[in-house]
Amino acid sequence: MVKGLFLAFPMAAMALVSNSRLADAPVPPEIQDEQVQGINKLPYHSTLVPYGSLAEALNGRREKSSYARLLNGAWKFHYVKRPEERPIDFYKSSFDVSKWDTIQVPSNWQVLGYGTPYYRNAGYTFQRDWPRVMSEPPRDFTAYDERNPVGSYRRTFEVPSTWNGREVFLKFDGVDAGFFLWVNGQKVGYSQNSRNAAEFDITKFVMPGKNDVALEVYRYTSGSYMEDQDMFRLSGIFRNVTLWSAPKVHVQDTFVTTDLDSQYRDATLRVRAKVRNYGSVASKLQKLAVTLFDAKGKPVKAGAASVAVPAIPAGGETTVTVVKAVSNPMKWTAETPNLYTAVLGLGSGEVLSHRVGFREVEIKGRVFMVNGKPVKLKGANRHEMSPNTGHYVTEADMIKDLEMLKKANCNHVRTSHYSNDPRWYELCDEWGIYLVAEANVECHGYYGVLDREPRFEKMIVDRNVGNVENFKNHASIVIWSMGNECGGGPNLRAAEKVVRGLDSTRPTHYEAFGEGPSNPASIDSHMYTDPAGTERIANNKNLTKPFYLCEYAHAMNNSMGSIGEYNDLFDKYPALMGGAIWEWEDQGLWNRRDPKRPYLAYGGGFGEKPNDGYFIHKGVVFSDRSPKPHFPEVKRAYQWVGFQDAGRGRIRVKNKFAFTNLSKYGLKWSIASDSGQVATGVVPSFSLAPGAEQVVDLHIPQFKLMAGTSLYLNVAAVLRTPEKWAPAGYEIANGQFAIHESLAPTGDAPAGAFRAETSQSGDIKLLGKGFTVAFDRATGTISELSKGGRNMLLPGGGPKPHLWRAQHRNDDGWAAGGWYGAGLMDLKPEVLDLKINKTSDNVAYVSSSVRYVGKGGYSVLHLARYTVYADGTVAVDNAVSPSGQNITLARMGVRMLLDPSMESLTYFARGPMENYSDRKRGSDIGRYVSTVEAEMTPYPKPQECGNHEDMKWLSLGSKSGLGLTALADREPLQFSALPYRDEDMEDVPYRVDLPKRNATVLILSGKTLGVGSNACGPRPLPEYRLDSTPRSFSYVLRLGGSGTVPKRDGGPVLVTRSANGQTALTGSGQIEVSEDGQRWTAYAGPLVVTEPKRLRVRSGGFDGVVALEPPPAKMAWSATASSFESNEGEPANVLDGNESTFWHTRWSGDKAQPPHSLVIDLKKPTAIGRVLLTQRRENHNGRIGDYEVYLSDDGQSWGSAVAKGRLPDRDNAVVTLDRQRTARYVRLVVLNDRSNGGWASLAEFDVEP
């Protein structure tokens, strides 16, 4: 029977097997010989089978041909962990496999419970020892036990009697990693290269009636060194198995090309055919005819042509070319995927067919062009992966990908990093996708080694030949890529040369070749260069080729910031041909081995070692292809219609399509306020040529603006008629423009009265009609927020500063270290003061002064003024002043823990999906209805999520009547309302492990940190970062109803320390200070603080206490460097006290070369006896090797080195001078790094006497 997904290891596979020994079977030498790519395997050729009729040929589905049979389905299967345990005689017909398990083909055996799925990003799952794969790994490796698993497959098949006299072939579209093949007990051959078709002529092995076929599949072969792609490593027969036949004289291979004339109107169709005679006698002279049919199956006028095929000797072959002029065919592009069918008829009776797209790819100067028009590639890298079936991807899976790609405005896919299933290329032809077709070549774990090892040239070239030969007839393929992340050595250069020789109609690409004269490929390429570096390349006049970001906008977990900025550059610069996001889909794999705890696994999710953790989840869509919050951002960034506000109800529309008039789309508009849509309209007729732009008057009616009302104009281009990927009315492009923006209107304090009570311990309680607002002296914040006697706050749940987030797993490489080091997760409150000032019957001011103490000298002073009104409204003005290391914060906000029954959520902010400062273009401002549970974005690894930017207001409520409204005051806020705290999510591996929810967690922030893409790419751009600079923000809590926000002046002050020892107080009103609380003076300017002290401050109803401390000496230091990587490796990072940030020399664009220097200005003569250096921790790129240290009094004269040597390879290093010296400047010179990459980096710098 078929095993269910992810069952425990099938014991049936270990049952006694008759007629075979299960031990001491020798390991076949072929699997560890890098020179053996196959034995008796047919040469690579175009994907084809003969058809039994013209109707079959026009249908074009090979598996439906009269001369083809799929051998998918049930196979008998046996699994062992090591080759020596395999049944060596199982291929014999006499061998009894009746007690073996039954496995479905296609499949990966790990997915069905045999052995361990294994996730690696870069690195091998077996012991690295090329070309060997049987060497002993460390004992904690999973491969120590599962040394090289072998799957033995058996089934029977019948050859139809109608195939008598024909040649019979057996084709495997994908077997991972290598296999031996037997038919009827006779050994046919061997193959490795899991991603290209392995085809065998089995004519002499088959017989009438029932036949046996057997495969012995190895998890690892020498070819596995070239299959080190970022994916789950899985094994088995995972693509179609096809039995097919051909006449003795057979068209073995075809190459179909289309050549457009100089006007890109008329075309020349060329069909080059290789004809082979499999017979025992010479063939006769015959004719090869090619007839062109349109999409409706009708012959194109004058669409037939033929060529004579000469007599071919037995066993010989010949090549002929049919040439046909075609008048003005419909052209193929990703926008207009027009396809014809070329039917080939050989005189022997053979009929074949190919889909044909008339298109021409060119590079003119630095511009990539299709059919004479500049074209931008805007798309994603795509792995073949299903969360349920692994690397076996069904046609339905492929179509779902295409549907979502088109809905996201993607026109491009890079087949990362291998040849895909043949059906994928056909679908891309039909749906319209520009493909960068990549070969099955990646030796990341041996980067810079196997790319130049002569013994691997044959393998690398072979895989590139297979990629081209198999798929050269597909219009969707516009670029060939040699592979990925091997290094740019001679083996890849040899492959590029061979590919050019095979196909001169398409450009070539390989990222490791870089850019400039040394790049032999047609296109310059990088990965993960930041926007600034990308713009430098676009403006580099010395470069002569188009530039392509083959990977960018790394989308791991909650990330993919600034994709809009990248695409602004793509649109601006002709030399930038676009890019491919890394990557299209999360590659999670369901682990259901424990039915009570199913989870979508990432690295380590099956107990495999080593692994690369959560790095597998980095898609625009989730593993099931449902959209992540990244999806609307991609859709907006990639949209092919641009909108700009032209004022007075007009918009400027730009058609960014290359081949499509906008008459294909409708143009509609709406006006929305915080209460919903208030007007809609359409532009009755609209036409705009490709590349053109035009101002359109929408004829919007006039509106009377109400105080506190925001109005937004929303514009959309929609499908007029349905496409196969979306219905009519689908919005392909959007724009939003503010007509009028406002927060809640201001007014007078509401009438009424309430009383105030202060307990002996200092607690404060304000009681009014139907409400209570209480403050706790021990915490300095609100302890009760009640209406009708029910407290909405949980114990300890009043608003407190919240500055960190449960890591997005993009934060851990730089920002999160600062959060841990500063102790942001467990700040200890020290209440300096809590005071009430009730100025009238209907208004009371409660001033709170709390100093939160973290680690390493980090603290946060939170001054808050709570203004309470007679209707229970609480206006909260916050001044948050961090002190200590200038670390990057996740947010500047407060957190409240509310009753968990407050589940319903309505808000006026950006939505409906989560958004962040650098990922919000695709999230329009509007009124949205949600739930707290729905706000929890289903990332497989729980993490902070659900943020919404530009909030005007939100309301939370419960079925029992609890209700709380929060309004932004003075400036829009950011918010999240989740069922879990960051602490609940931080250390939890999977969603299934989350605790039972016990709170509604509301966070209101004045500013949030962007998400960036720095798990493998740039950090958030500077404008989206958040350092420890003091900030103020305000919000209003309303217990029900609506109305104005009372006017308030002044408020709590910010406390800012400067490097010169002065401390400044800033606020929005007049500030008074007092040292004893009795004598007050007007604040006149910065204070000189030489020792810790406390000062009383009052401003506009705030009356509180600030704690003042002298600044540390290091705060005044500054750093400069010979070079640095912008937005990532600034030299100031070595002085910020955060070991997660670092200085790094320039690596993008024009890479800086050693020696590198870093100069620290100590600002005054300082005694120096030791230099303390903290190396970069999370990545060893640039880890310092040989160094020199110099000192100077003026920064100009340096003299001789005062220390030199080689730093030890550890995180913390101390350079001891021969004696204590005094200097103002220190220069560290890095002569080389330990990896010899030519870089330099450093996390922290300090000196000691």
**Active site amino acids:** 485, 551
DSSP 8-state class, residue 247: -
**Residue 467: half-sphere exposure toward Cβ, Cα within 13 Å:** 31
DSSP 8-state class, residue 570: H
Cα Rg of the chain (Å, integer): 34
Grouping H, G, I as helix, E, B as strand and the rest as coil, residue 214 is: strand
CA–CA distance, 387 with 988 (Å, rounded to integer): 21
1031-1038 and 1000-1008 strand pairing? unpaired
CA–CA distance, 190 with 177 (Å, rounded to integer): 11
CA–CA distance, 338 with 265 (Å, rounded to integer): 14
Q: The tokens 């290269």 sit on which residue?
A: 193
**Residue 705: half-sphere exposure toward Cβ, Cα within 13 Å:** 13
CA–CA distance, 1021 with 1034 (Å, rounded to integer): 26
Give Cβ neighbours of residue 786 (< 8 Å, ≥ 6 apart).
771, 772, 773, 792
Name the phi and psi angles at 1160, rounded to 5: -110, 125
CA–CA distance, 215 with 155 (Å, rounded to integer): 9
CA–CA distance, 790 with 769 (Å, rounded to integer): 14
Write out the two tokens for 1025: 């970062």
| DSSP run (H or E) holding 1225 | strand 1212-1230
- Type of residue at 771: F
Distances (CA, A) of 731 to 90, 434, 635, 695: 58, 22, 10, 20
Q: The tokens 């300090």 sit on which residue?
A: 1246
Identify the CA nearest to 441 among candidates 183, 224, 636. Answer: 224
CA–CA distance, 963 with 1041 (Å, rounded to integer): 10
Q: Are 674 and 927 in contact (CB under 8 A)?
A: yes
340-346 and 351-356 strand pairing? antiparallel
Distances (CA, A) of 709 to 415, 674, 930, 954, 1164: 49, 7, 22, 15, 56
Beta bridge partners of residue 38, listed in sequence order: 191
Write out the two tokens for 506: 């398409």
Q: Are 784 and 771 in contact (CB under 8 A)?
A: no
Distances (CA, A) of 1003 to 617, 776, 937, 974, 982: 26, 20, 16, 8, 11
Q: Are 985 and 943 in contact (CB under 8 A)?
A: yes
Name the phi and psi angles at 576, rounded to 5: -90, 110
Identify the CA nearest to 1209 among candidates 1239, 1248, 1246, 1182. Answer: 1182
CA–CA distance, 175 with 1133 (Å, rounded to integer): 49
Q: What angle do CA 77, 81, 82 make, to 5 degrees?
A: 110
CA–CA distance, 392 with 402 (Å, rounded to integer): 17
Residue 1029 burial by CB count (10 A; 0-12/13-18/19+): exposed, middle or buried?
middle
Give Cβ neighbours of residue 788 (< 8 Å, ≥ 6 apart).
770, 961
Identify the CA nearest to 643 among candidates 532, 731, 752, 750. Answer: 731
Length of the chain: 1249
